[in-house]
Amino acid sequence: MCGIVGAISPRNVTPILLEGLKRLEYRGYDSAGVAVIHQNRLQREREIGKVAGLEAKLQSSELSGQIGIAHTRWATHGKPSVDNAHPQMSGTDVAVVHNGIIENHERLRDQLAAHGYVFASDTDTEVVAHLFHYHYQLVNTEPNDERLIRAFRETLEALQGAYALSILHTEHPGALLCAKVGSPLVIGEGSEEHFIGSDPLALLQVTDRFIYLEEGDYALVTRDEKRIYSLSESGMVEVERPIVRYEHGDHAADRGEFRHFMLKEIHEQPRALRDSLAGKFGQAGELLASSLGPNAENILRCVKQVQIVSCGTSYHAGLVARYWLEALAGVPCSVEVASEFRYRQVVVPENTLFVTISQSGETADTLAALRFAKTKGYLASLAICNVPGSSLVRESDYRLLTNAGPEIGVASTKAFTTQLAVLLWLTAVIGQAQMPAASRVELINALRSLPDHVASVLALEPAIERLAAYFANKHHTLFLGRGTHYPVAMEGALKLKEISYIHAEAYAAGELKHGPLALVDEEMPVVTVAPSNELLEKLKSNLQEVQARGGQLINFVCEEAHFKDNDNVTNVCLPKVDDWIAPIVYSVPLQLLAYHVALVKGTDVDKPRNLAKSVTVE
Ligand code: AGP
């Protein structure tokens, strides 16, 4: 989704801005732009399509300056076009970049038009540019920093919605304004220079020290200082925010030996799982719940019910966890997509733990669901997240971090399996009192064996790659699973559809004869997740139903289950693993299948059409 970069420095900032935009490309966008102040005048370039197109334009225009802002836009208000790309300007003095949505933009547009402002785009962002210009004119003082920041606050107070934004004014070539209301923004610390970014990844080439702006923060940033204020404080009182060192290293630009980030991230899973489980067990195998936050153990002891809320892949992780929490911990669990939950009248049973799951920690619906839940009397909120400084983590009472490292491919892979691993660990923590010691030890051992099992499944890649060609001309696919593997089938279908654009539907295999069986013929590939467990015989009967209708079965099966290949059936055999970790292990071949089908189809694997990595608008 949209990305912001800004810089103020004694050096020319254009290369920093451009590199920042490249690093944000993975998030998905359809146009890009840059504005700098040069000799007290704004210079701007914008282009639709890739950042490379903007780069070419910049080379011929030789745009340079010591202060600037840049943006990748993912169209919401107005189609992708140069006119709608950011930075948006008001006259020749003000330039604005903006992520998120200004909900009251129509009313503001009418008011500003009545004041004589003429609009050159369809965007809500241009409203911010003119509104700031308007307030700046009204603040009747010298053109000093006070005037700038007061006009900024008055502008922010008039805006409704969720946004991050940054503004330049030509009368203040030494000041960068920025604000965060519902959409992430960081200030990067340099030596006699400062940067801003909607994601620290955009700035890792210049700094690893960041201030994560809090909700309602707005700031005036110069080369030497930053003054941060909060909209929740009634006056213009400065607030202190800590500087945090980014500890994941700068992997963003590095695909290593891999052709795509997605493939790299699939292969990183053994390491990601190991790192995500590190520090969660004591020497004697005890579960170290203190990593969740102060007093977490006491709170978790009181949990009588769990409500999980998340989106997309993270929602599928929640669906698997429901089986675990109910079977192993004996705790009732509901799972819901955030976009529905946030608008529902909820009834909250006593002592219900509210759990959000999110790779990015910035998904607008999940964040809104958390904020809504906080008004509803849940026992406590717990965020399961891959980004330590994210809004979701900061706004939750407790946090359970996955340590997968930055995930760049839009299709989530290592984030999913690490979410599952920590959810299984959380199940053991919540169920501690009622689980027999032997089962707990078994579960812990299974979790510890996980990275090795995943590594052995990755070795099956050549066999999975051979299957991919079969899907090249298919338009539809069914994915089947039962029990914990039904959500795994859902995740497999999501992976395939998002990167190969083949329509894929997942069904609980027992539901086949209630409708979807009508779709099955010799043109329909049916992918099945079939580990050896107590539902295997039932699943086999469901597969007979498919075979009898001529469907082509591709089964991911346990090597001990003795499935036989024939003209209509291809089996890929996986090692026998403990039932509880099987959903994690069986997710991996489905990721590889989706990846190789997308390769055959020639799609943009890491940046599939119409999608964004982090969905920061509703
Ligand atoms: C998965 O491959 C997706 N791209 C998408 O479904 C994603 O999982 C969803 O948007 C939620 O994101 P989050 O985990 O960052 O909240």
3-state secondary structure 456-517: HHHCCHHHHHHHHHHHCCCCEEEEEECCCHHHHHHHHHHHHHHHHCCEEEEEEHHHHHHCHH
- Whether cis (ω within 30° of 0) applies to the bond prior to 87 is yes
Q: What tokens were used for 470?
A: 């079969």
Q: Is 580 left (phi over 0), alpha (psi -120 to 50) or beta?
A: alpha
Q: How far is ligand 1, taken at its centre, from the CA of residue 365, in Å? A: 11
Structural domain ending residue among the three candidates 252, 286, 321: 252
Strand, helix or coil at 502?
A: coil
Is the Cβ atom of 363 under 6 angstroms away from ligand 1? Answer: yes
Q: Measured between alpha carbons, how far is residue 616 from residues 26, 28, 104, 179, 346 in Å?
A: 14, 12, 18, 15, 24
Would residue 613 count as lying in a domain? Answer: no
For residue 547, how many other CB atoms are within 10 A of its CB? 15
Positive or negative: CA dihedral 290, 291, 294, 296:
negative
Is the Cβ atom of 339 under 6 angstroms away from ligand 1? Answer: no
Would residue 618 count as lying in a domain? Answer: no
| Same domain? 416 vs 468 | no
**Nearest by Cα to 34 from 528, 480, 59:** 59
Strand, helix or coil at 344?
A: coil
| Residue located via tokens 């000093």 | 144
- Please identify every residue annotated as catalytic: 2, 613
| Same domain? 270 vs 175 | no
Would residue 284 count as lying in a domain? Answer: yes
Q: What tokens were used for 338?
A: 């955030």
| Same domain? 472 vs 599 | yes
| Same domain? 405 vs 280 | yes
Is the Cβ atom of 552 under 6 angstroms away from ligand 1? Answer: no
Sheet arrangement for strand 525-530? 503-508, 476-481, 525-530, 552-558, 569-574
Would residue 614 count as lying in a domain? Answer: no
Q: For a substitution probing ligand 1, which of 260, 266, 311, 610 has the most ligand atoms within 8 Å of its CB?
A: 311
**Range list of β-strands (E), 142-297:** 161-169, 176-181, 186-189, 194-197, 209-212, 217-221, 226-230, 244-245
Tell me, letter by letter, the H, E, C secondary structure of 574-616: ECCCCCCCHHHHHHHHHHHHHHHHHHHHCCCCCCCCCCCCCCC
Per-residue confidence (pLDDT) for residue 440, from 0 to 100: 86
Q: What is the mean pLDDT of each run of 10 residues along the chain (618 residues)?
A: 93 96 87 96 95 92 94 87 96 95 94 96 96 92 85 96 94 96 91 95 94 92 96 88 82 80 96 92 81 89 96 98 96 97 95 97 94 96 90 92 91 98 96 86 92 97 95 94 97 97 95 90 92 87 86 92 87 94 98 97 92 80
Would residue 74 count as lying in a domain? Answer: yes
Structural domain ending residue among the three candidates 419, 437, 456: 456
| Same domain? 487 vs 415 | no
Per-residue confidence (pLDDT) for residue 611, from 0 to 100: 87
| Same domain? 564 vs 581 | yes
The rounded distance, in Å, linking the Cα atoms of 491 and 590 is 8
**pTM for the structure as a whole:** 0.79
Under 8 Å between Cβ of 43 and 96: no
Under 8 Å between Cβ of 184 and 196: no
As a dihedral over the C-alpha atoms of residue 327, residue 356, residue 429, residue 406, rounded to 10 degrees, the angle is 110
| Same domain? 432 vs 316 | yes
Exposure of 231 in the CB half-sphere (CA atoms within 13 A): 20
The rounded distance, in Å, linking the Cα atoms of 272 and 279 is 13
| Same domain? 448 vs 473 | no
Report CA Rg, the chain.
26
| Same domain? 12 vs 127 | yes
Residue 265 CA, chain-centre distance (Å), reads 14
Burial string for 375-408 (b: 16+ CB within 10 Å, else e) reads: eeebbbbbbbbbbbbbbbbbbbbbbbbbbbbbbb
Range of the domain at 11: 3-252
Helix and strand totals (H; E) in the chain:
18, 24
The rounded distance, in Å, linking the Cα atoms of 371 and 385 is 16
- Number of separate domains in the chain: 3
Q: For a substitution probing ligand 1, which of 313, 491, 501, 609 has the most ligand atoms within 8 Å of its CB?
A: 313
Residue 236 backbone phi and psi in degrees, to 5: -95, 70
Would residue 392 count as lying in a domain? Answer: yes
Per-residue confidence (pLDDT) for residue 614, from 0 to 100: 79
Under 8 Å between Cβ of 568 and 552: yes
Residue 54 backbone phi and psi in degrees, to 5: -65, -40
Per-residue confidence (pLDDT) for residue 472, from 0 to 100: 87
| Same domain? 108 vs 226 | yes
The rounded distance, in Å, linking the Cα atoms of 529 and 584 is 12
The rounded distance, in Å, linking the Cα atoms of 26 and 34 is 18
Q: What tokens were used for 44?
A: 């701007």
State the amino acid at position 587 in one-letter form. Answer: S
Per-residue confidence (pLDDT) for residue 252, from 0 to 100: 56
| Same domain? 324 vs 391 | yes
Is the Cβ atom of 418 under 6 angstroms away from ligand 1? Answer: no
List the residue whose alpha carbon is closest to atom 7 of ligand 1. Answer: 312
Q: What tokens were used for 28?
A: 């998905």
CATH number, domain of 12, equals 3.60.20.10
The rounded distance, in Å, linking the Cα atoms of 165 and 401 is 28
CATH number, domain of 575, equals 3.40.50.10490
State the amino acid at position 154 in one-letter form. Answer: E
**Nearest by Cα to 387 from 591, 256, 267, 246:** 246
- State which ligand 1 atom lies nearest to the alpha carbon of 360: 15
Residue 298 backbone phi and psi in degrees, to 5: -65, -40
Q: For a substitution probing ligand 1, which of 309, 356, 360 has the most ligand atoms within 8 Å of its CB?
A: 360
Would residue 615 count as lying in a domain? Answer: no
State the amino acid at position 361 in one-letter form. Answer: G
The rounded distance, in Å, linking the Cα atoms of 544 and 540 is 6
Would residue 611 count as lying in a domain? Answer: no
Structural domain ending residue among the three candidates 198, 228, 252: 252
- State which ligand 1 atom lies nearest to the alpha carbon of 366: 16
| Same domain? 213 vs 315 | no
Q: How far is ligand 1, taken at its centre, from the CA of residue 392, in Å? A: 14
Q: What tokens were used for 460?
A: 């099956």
To 10 degrees, what angle do helices 582-601 and 414-430 make? 170
Q: How far is ligand 1, taken at its centre, from the CA of residue 445, in Å? A: 29
